[in-house]
Amino acid sequence: MIQPVNGHILIKPEKHESFMSQQHETYEEIGVVMSLPMEWEMIPGTGIPLESSPVNINDKVYFDAWLAAKFPSEKEGEYYWLVKWEDVRAVEYAKS
C-alpha cells in the first residue's frame, strides 16, 4: 500500500447501492481511512507516535472528490483516493 505525505490521507471509497435502476453502484465521496500521512504518525525526528491526528485508520470520511487524486489499488477495478485533509468535509469516527 502506498504511504501518503504532505497532509494527504489515503481513502478507500465505499460502494453504495443506488436507487436509480440504470446505476448499479456509485461512489458517493465517502470512504474509509486506510493510511495517514507520515508526518501525522510520528513526532518528527523522534520516532515517537503522534496521538493527536484529526482522524484515525478505519474512520469514515466525507470528501470532495473533485479535489482528490484517484489511483488504482492492488486489486483490479478498485481505487484509492489521496485526499488533502482540508478537503475532508466530515468525519464519522469508528467505534473502538
Say which CATH number the domain at 51 has.
Answer: 2.30.33.40
Residue with cell 468525519: 91
Residue 37 pLDDT? 85
Range of the domain at 62: 8-89
What is the predicted pLDDT for the residue at 39? 76
> Does residue 47 form part of some domain?
yes
Mode of pairing for the β-strands spanning 60-63 and 79-84: unpaired
Q: Give bridge partners of residue 60 from the DSSP assignment.
A: 32, 92
Is a pLDDT exceeding 90 seen at residue 54? no
For 13-17, 25-29, 50-54, 68-72, which range has the lowest pLDDT when averaged over its residues?
25-29
> Per the domain annotation, does 96 fall within a domain?
no
Using CA atoms, how far apart are residues 48 and 11, in angstroms rounded to an integer? 24
Angle at CA of residue 19, ends 73 and 59, nearest 5°: 40
pTM, whole model, 2 decimals?
0.75
Domain count, the chain: 1
Q: Is residue 21 part of a domain?
A: yes
DSSP 74: S
On whether residue 2 sits in a domain, the answer given is no
Please report whether residue 77 resides in a domain: yes
pLDDT-based confidence at residue 92 (cuts at 50, 70, 90): very high
Check pLDDT > 50 for residue 46.
Answer: yes
Bridge partners, 80 (sequence order): 71
Which pLDDT score is estimated for 10?
A: 94
